Amino acid sequence: MERFKPNPMGINCLHFKLSNSGAKRHGVSEPSIYAWRKKFGDLGTDDVKRLKQLEQENSRLKKLVVERDLEIEVMKEIAANKR
């Protein structure tokens, strides 16, 4: 049986208040349902999609900052070696 993976469309099932039997039928544990409800609460589908987009953008920006910091460190080392 293929495991259920959370995604923006899969989160919609939280709004239907899955019962224990529904969760078992889809291969989702009860603690997972509670964790999703806690994380996503009353978010609508559009809100969840926007949240995912923001998380992806935030991840991309963090990588850019790390790369920039690395470049600065390399430039400092090069400048220190020239002295």
DSSP states of 1-65 as a string?
-PPP---TTGGGGGGGT--HHHHHHTT--HHHHHHHHHHHTT--HHHHHHHHHHHHHHHHHHHHH
For the entire predicted model, the pTM comes to: 0.52
CA dihedral in degrees (36, 41, 44, 47; nearest 10)? -90
Instruction: State pLDDT tens for residues 34-64.
Output: 887 787 777 788 888 898 999 999 999 999 9
